[in-house]
Chain A
């Protein structure tokens, strides 16, 4: 047992130095290698655990923010709709969200939509409305489709249309702030 043999083979393996020969079982006294492997595994495990918990915390914050976004949109517009779309600033990694929903009852994006730009921290379940704009029905949220900008959205020139499209319902500016 103490002199566990290397494989009883001829050919190339037999000509290799002892440390490189294939073995039938692991050499005794590999404790230091095993310890090093286990240490690396534990460190990797810790890294993965920290990364996972960090991600869960981030997701929880994002969910918390999304709940406040939806609540703010419903409070500001006075519509208690469920089908709202929320766009996060994934590129800039900021907490600026845009929430859009119909101005009158209907399926998602089937009516003219009002979008609110929400910024800042969550306070009392709501966030600051920095501005907003309107979108015609069945359109994608792009600058060329936006009209009737208000608040910071008007100041930063988020709207591509200078006036509402023909037949669009009235587009009143909504209150900004909290």
Chain B
């Protein structure tokens, strides 16, 4: 399935993550998955939240740069080689994975959030699994 992700630009300094998360808390946003990527100078906070538009508005009002984009989310079965199989199928179709991170919840189990260079094609492939 397709999920919406909120990405937030952060500087790589103490307190910046705290500030960003506090803003989301004030806006009553619930976070179900999160990935924090860093370089020496800046970081990218990527989030799956219950209301991305509202979260983006809150971040914007607080002066942060953020964006919403669509990603592939794949539910994972708890069996050996399941993830490997998915990635193999994507790679043999020439699809490149930019980044990915895991998400899990008590109701729906584990899933993988995947950014590829071709969302539509990737979706077609995983829906056939």
Q: Is the pairing of A and B real?
A: no
| Residues of B in contact with A (beta carbons under 8 Å apart) | none
| Residues of A in contact with B (beta carbons under 8 Å apart) | none
